[in-house]
Amino acid sequence: MVKLPFGSSVLLGLLVLISVSLAQSNNSTYNNPVLPGWHSDPSCTQVNGTFFCVTSTFIAFPGLPIYASKDLINWKLISHAWSRESQLPGISWRTTGQQEGMFAPTIRYRNGEFFVICEYLGMSEGIIGVLFRSKNPYSDKDWSDPLRFRPTKIDPDLFWDDDGKVYVATQGIILQELDLKTGKLSEPAISLWNGTGGVWPEGPHIYKKDGWYYLLIAEGGTALDHAITIARARKITGPYEPYAKNPILTNRRTNEYFQTVGHGDLFQDTNGNWWGMALATRSGPEYRNYPMGREAVLFPVTWNKGEWPILQPVKGQMSGWPLPPPNRDGVPGDGPFITDPDVYDFDKGTSIPPNLMFWRVPRNGTFSVTDRGLQIAPSRNNLTGTPFSTRTPELSGQQGLAFIGRRQTDSLFTFTVDLTFNPTAVGQEAGVTVFLTQVNHIDLGVVLLDKKGAQGSKELSLRFKAEGTGGPPASKTIALPKGWAAGPIRLQIKTANLTHYSLSASSADDPKSSVLVGAASGALLSGGNGSFVGSLVGAYATCNGAGSGVNCPAGGTAYFKRWRYEGDAQFVTATKSIPSLGKIRE
């Protein structure tokens, strides 16, 4: 050892201090979730300095949104891998389950082409594996019709080995080779690893690094026990050796505000630093009120040569590798950024914005942009599903519900829209809703009803209704205040606070005339029958079961204009919030 005089060691110490603080000063801070609102099962990859992610959408349509970012913070919606009924003819309208459909995709890039592999659940014929391809992920049209395959398990990964062989690992965890021309999977499937003992070892992703095959999986179920674990092998078929310090990422049995952390994917930036995205729920340890469901969070990863990756625990405020410089303008494509507010006037000639979604493929003609704004032709089913022959609600959606909505992306938000509606038959209704599933939603409608005590005469009313997990409040109906029917009616959904939504209405000509019609707890839209999905905020029209087959009687078409969604606050801990990024400037 070299002996240094006292002064030199002080100097050396100072140098070390300076370099440590330098390293610290260029580590960046940011807030989670980076994809706020319903964005479960994120899978991401980086191509040439742009990051691409896809998330699960279940039965919502268009499905499998592709987000792109140059800086890991600003994420633009650039396309949907599933945006045409003709890509999977007939399957959406045959799906009854509220949480079936497109589960847990993987996105990968290879030789100039993007691949999104996924599976569709809820069909009597079993799981339908789908592989979409695109050379231009900035365009819906460029996504191919899917190659179909027949996996026995969910959550397909897609991995190319150095020898060109293509592998699909699925829940279990099992491995099969996939023939990209025919969709044939090799048999028998090889069991790779059963995880560390948590339920549902699933969501696998395989990475090859430094001569090892790493198998990253989710286990413990997608709720409070959720975790990420890892194993590695010298051959892709195993034997896989689990990491001694599993799980490598979880918030289970902690008091963290971000719970259910798991189901992630790892990728590198152009500096060679590793990152990961996973799902998490902003529920706090009580896990009671979390209508947005599972959101996508970003975390730094340290992955040194030959070693196991170290995943930084997920919180609302993070610090890690230097982020690429902020760059919103560098991302092509038309879609809005995830944190943008909605300022939609539905002027004639415009199209329906890509961040608005439907519950299943909509029936032709249900939604159109006309000179009177967004036109919604009513569906015979109301948002729940009107019973046709039995007392149980009809949950097939009868060729799509006349519902359109965007994700609730903020802990606190305000949504307003102006409705023009001239119903002629009793039961015709149009309104706004916070919607999780057909059996979890909170609605404020304008509806034509029989006038009480005045036989034969009808009355336009405001009706508040809620149903969902736990005890919904009673519905409430009030006559539309005098004079409002002449002009558009402004309907509003606002988070009264972190636990409640309040729904109110006013004459659009006189916003001061606002009437609070009802309030309901977000717990109605948390977990239960909708534990995999997340809240959407939007508009609907229905004839509440009148008519026959899937057709409503004539009339009852609704027109919506001045659609505004604005975030008010994002909670990053149970008690601390930051302002939402998307403010409306008009």
Ligand X SMILES: *[C@@H]1O[C@H](CO)[C@@H](O)[C@H](O)[C@H]1NC(C)=O
Cα 398 from chain centre: 24
Choose, by CB under 6 A, the member of 8, 364, 370, 514 that binds ligand X. Answer: 364
Write down the least CB distance from residue 134 to ligand X, Å.
Answer: 14
472 makes contact with ligand X (CB under 6 A): no
Write down the least CB distance from residue 449 to ligand X, Å.
Answer: 10
322 token code pair: 């230097």
The phi and psi torsions of 309 (rounded to 5 degrees) equal -70, 145
Distance CA 266, CA 388 (A): 48
388 token code pair: 């046709």
139 makes contact with ligand X (CB under 6 A): no
Residues 197-236 as x/- pattern, contact with ligand X by CB under 6 A: ----------------------------------------
Distance CA 356, CA 335 (A): 11
Closer to ligand X by Cβ: residue 118 or 175:
175
Closer to ligand X by Cβ: residue 43 or 399:
399
Distances (CA, A) of 241 to 195, 482, 577: 10, 73, 42
Task: Provide Rg for the chain, Cα atoms.
Answer: 25
For residue 556, which of 404, 451, 448, 428 has the smallest C-alpha distance? Answer: 428
What contacts 384, CB < 8 A, 6 or more positions away?
393, 438, 439, 441, 467
544 makes contact with ligand X (CB under 6 A): yes
Choose, by CB under 6 A, the member of 321, 367, 540, 563 that binds ligand X. Answer: 321
322 makes contact with ligand X (CB under 6 A): yes
Write down the least CB distance from residue 467 to ligand X, Å.
Answer: 8
Confirm if 103 and 56 have CB atoms less than 8 A apart.
Answer: yes
Give me the catalytic one of 71, 119, 140, 202: 202
Closer to ligand X by Cβ: residue 285 or 528:
528
Using CB positions, name the residue nearest to ligand X: 300
74 token code pair: 């600003």
The number of residues that bind ligand X (CB under 6 A) is 33
270 makes contact with ligand X (CB under 6 A): no
Choose, by CB under 6 A, the member of 8, 14, 18, 27 that binds ligand X. Answer: 27
366 makes contact with ligand X (CB under 6 A): no
Closer to ligand X by Cβ: residue 256 or 394:
394
Q: Residue 202 catalytic?
A: yes
Residues 425-464 as x/- pattern, contact with ligand X by CB under 6 A: --------------x-------------------------
Closer to ligand X by Cβ: residue 362 or 508:
362
Q: Residue 41 catalytic?
A: yes
242 token code pair: 């689990």
Which listed range, 113-121, 156-164, 248-256, 494-502, lies at the site for ligand X (CB under 6 A)?
494-502
Q: Please, what is the Cα angle at 143 between 323 and 164, to 5 degrees?
A: 75
Beta-bridged to residue 423, according to DSSP, are none
242 makes contact with ligand X (CB under 6 A): no
Choose, by CB under 6 A, the member of 29, 48, 182, 351 that binds ligand X. Answer: 48
| Count of Cβ atoms closer than 10 Å to residue 11 Cβ | 12
The phi and psi torsions of 292 (rounded to 5 degrees) equal -70, -15
Choose, by CB under 6 A, the member of 1, 6, 7, 24 that binds ligand X. Answer: 24
Beta-bridged to residue 300, according to DSSP, are 275
Which 370-389 positions form the footprint of ligand X (CB under 6 A)? 382, 384-387
393 makes contact with ligand X (CB under 6 A): yes
Which listed range, 24-32, 154-162, 204-212, 557-565, lies at the site for ligand X (CB under 6 A)?
24-32
Closer to ligand X by Cβ: residue 32 or 339:
32
Closer to ligand X by Cβ: residue 127 or 546:
546
Write down the least CB distance from residue 158 to ligand X, Å.
Answer: 20
The helix/strand/coil state of 202 is strand
Distances (CA, A) of 304 to 218, 234, 273, 309: 22, 17, 10, 7
Choose, by CB under 6 A, the member of 209, 288, 500, 561 that binds ligand X. Answer: 500
Residue 94 region by backbone torsions, left for phi larger than 0, else alpha for psi between -120 and 50, else beta: alpha
For residue 225, which of 173, 285, 174 has the smallest C-alpha distance? Answer: 285
502 makes contact with ligand X (CB under 6 A): yes
Write down the least CB distance from residue 340 to ligand X, Å.
Answer: 24
Distance CA 128, CA 140 (A): 21
For residue 130, which of 78, 183, 172, 79 has the smallest C-alpha distance? Answer: 183
DSSP E strand stretches across 438-498? 440-450, 458-467, 476-479, 489-495
Closer to ligand X by Cβ: residue 212 or 345:
212
Choose, by CB under 6 A, the member of 276, 300, 538, 547 that binds ligand X. Answer: 300
What contacts 398, CB < 8 A, 6 or more positions away?
379, 380, 381, 385, 550
243 token code pair: 């990491």
Count each helix (H run) and each strand (E run) in the chain, helices first: 1, 40
The phi and psi torsions of 129 (rounded to 5 degrees) equal -80, 140
288 makes contact with ligand X (CB under 6 A): no
Q: What residue ranges bind ligand X (CB under 6 A)?
A: 22-24, 26-27, 48, 191-194, 300, 302, 312, 320-322, 364, 382, 384-387, 393, 439, 496-497, 499-500, 502, 519, 528-529, 544
Q: Please give the positions annotated as active site.
A: 41, 202
